[in-house]
Structure 1
């Protein structure tokens, strides 16, 4: 009897460890992708901003400043748009990862529920 309990416990422990490993893999992949997206957006924004600052540094008269000013507004607008697009992409990827994790958890609960139901049915038939 103890052997059967030990085997069931070992099997449940293995299944839990496998499920945890799957969930951790999904979470780490998502975090890596999100970090990469945000880093790329930050790099693009910084590059555009520093290029604009380079142009501003070359300005020597108010007339030249008037021509550079719209470029600065354009750079700012593009940076904001890039940030919003990156944020939306991050949210979408995170939702997909969470849905995949939820499906794994749901499958595990359903599998355990069927095992328990079978064991209860066997126990009630034997008595």
Structure 2
């Protein structure tokens, strides 16, 4: 009888270990995608800002300042829009990663439940056979 419990414990721990490994892999892949999105967004905005400041450094009079002012406002507007779009993409990746993690957890619990049912069924059947055999001997 204890063999069934030992087998069940080993199968359950293996199932949870596999699920944890899958969950870890999914989490790392999601982190990589988020980091990649954010780095691209920062790289793009830094390049645009450097271009703007390079142009702004060449201004020597008030007319030049009036000419570059709309470009500065446009840079701020574009940066805010790009930041919002980037955050939306990051949120999307996070949601997809969370859904995948929940599917792994759900699958792990289903596998553990099925395994447990099989072990209990086998143990019950074996125990019933032993009881019936003992009852027959007692007669």
How many residues are treated as equivalent by the alignment?
Answer: 127
Q: Output the TM-score relative to the length of structure 1.
A: 0.89
Q: How does 1:66-105 map to 2 (within 5 A)?
A: 66-105=66-105
Aligned to 2:59: 59
- Cα distance 1:9–1:24, how it changes in 2: closer, same or farther (>3 A)? same
RMSD between aligned residues: 1.8
Q: How does 1:1-127 map to 2 (within 5 A)?
A: 1-122=1-122, 126=128
CA distance in 2, matches of 1:39, 1:81: 16
In structure 1, runs of 5+ residues without a counterpart are none
Post-superposition offset of 1:109: 1.3
Post-superposition offset of 1:121: 4.5
Q: Output the TM-score relative to the length of structure 2.
A: 0.82
In structure 2, runs of 5+ residues without a counterpart are 132-139
The SS at the match of 2:34 is helix
CA distance in 1, matches of 2:107, 2:14: 15
Q: Which has the larger radius of gyration?
A: 2
Higher relative contact order (CA 8 A, sep 6+): 2
